[in-house]
Amino acid sequence: MEAINPTTGETIQTYDEMSPQQVEDAIEQAHEAFLGWHRVSVPDRAALMQKAAQVLRDNKNEFAKLMAEEMGKVMRDGRAEVQKCAWVCEYYAENAEHMLQTELVETEASKSFVTFQPLGVVLAVMPWNFPFWQVFRFAAPGLMAGNAGVLKHASNVPGCALAIEDIFREAGFPENLFRTLLIGSKQVETVIEHPLVKAATLTGSTPAGRAVARKAGDMLKKTVLELGGSDPYVILEDADLEESVATCVNSRLINAGQSCIAAKRFIVVESLRKRFEKLFVEQMRARKMGDPMDEETQIGPQARHDLRDQLHKQVEQSIKNGAQCLLGGNLPDSKGAFYPPTVLTNVKKGMPAYEEEMFGPVAAIIRVSDDKEAIRVANDSVFGLGAAVFTRDVAKGENIATNELEAGCCFVNAFVKSDPRLPFGGVKESGYGRELSHYGIKEFVNIKTVYVK
């Protein structure tokens, strides 16, 4: 298992993949840790989670550098990601006791109530694009609920995976309560089959989600899936154009475009299209691409060369099918897995830029005649993770977000983002279940009814 720097192409470090026996031992050890942990009071769990937040903050530069080296995230974004991880730890440390409080229910019994009990060891299969945040948004509520965790992280970020295990150890959590499994994708099914693994959560591609859901379904184990997205941003005729474009560009270029909730399809009413395209191209062109270790860099490389090349094929096929390239669209003549900010217009149904997730800094502009067509096109996707609508009529925007757009997270005049206080997840082929907020902490608990005569 190799960690390869996508900026230089150099191997950072080689790791030995765990043997089946080592995986077995890690799961059993996590279960043993769980047996004691689930009896620890929530306030005592919270004290350790606060320490984990402090470990994160104390080492934010070191962790940002690790992300830059392993998957190309620019330093400022890496530090922000670590800070967000600390926030989610603090949020659940402060709120878990209330979220997990026993709920009394009036019945004919002398006493009846609902209690929330942990399940045990939960498997987390996580991606490389936000290598710390994706893990902590599962781990903070999962551990606060009393569960143990085993992490199968993406194979290109093994250093991040091991660093996260060390964070919980340094914060004083029980040894082995959270374990990293250095394994490939082929071993995931075996882990799901293990009788001590009670549930699984995955953030990643739709095919990977199907595979995990299929195996977990065979084993009758709970899953939460946060999968791909092709988020539509609807720009209505009365939108504040300059503010809308700035928001759209920021969302499209987050993490060099490698985000499932980044804006990907820009659905623009025809009367605004030419002005939107002009401003959009200007702002995309102005972003500085380069070495993620350089503090001035705004866009780093793609995480791997194969991912960059697949993105380019999608762009080429879209252009071949009739899309017009307004910016970018060419592979740089330099080392590193870089891909330039790219803007495609005249994007239509049947093109990869319309149908598929473009996991990189590529924007697809789709023109429509009116609001009604804009909503239809926004929903014309197998995905349903996030969506946004831009309009000066806030009541109108709220109605569209609430009642018209088919997505798990709908924003008005703002770009879609995750927040510990709000539930996060999708519909359709973007997955099911919710992370974050009080909904997230209750995904992996036994919602138990107790009835006393």
Q: Which residues are catalytic?
A: 226, 260
DSSP letter string over 212-254? HHHHHHHTT-EEEEE----EEEEE-TTS-HHHHHHHHHHHHHG
Residues 6 or more apart whose CB falls under 8 angstroms from that of 378 comprise 232, 234, 265, 267, 387, 405, 406
Q: For the chain, how many residues are written? A: 453
Q: Identity (one letter) of the amino acid at 178?
A: F
Q: Assign residue 255 a region: left if phi > 0, alpha if psi is -120 to 50, beta otherwise?
A: left
Beta strands in 292-444 (DSSP E): 324-327, 342-345, 362-368, 383-384, 386-390, 409-412, 427-428, 431-432
Rounded to a whole number of angstroms, the distance between the first and last alpha carbons of the chain is: 57
* d(C-alpha 191, C-alpha 160), whole Å: 21
How is residue 380 annotated by DSSP? -
CA distance 293 to 75: 6
21 burial via Cβ count (<10 Å: 0-12, 13-18, 19+): exposed
**CA dist 145 → 115, 117, 120, 283, 396 (Å):** 12, 7, 10, 44, 39
Phi/psi for 418 (5° steps) reads: -90, 150
Check if the beta carbon of residue 200 is closer than 8 Å to that of residue 432: no
- DSSP annotation of 299 reads B
Phi-psi category of residue 396: left, alpha or beta, with phi > 0 → left and psi -120 to 50 → alpha: alpha
Residue with tokens 């143990």: 148
- The answer to whether 265 touches 407, Cβ cutoff 8 Å, is no
The pair of structure tokens assigned to 200 is: 């699984």
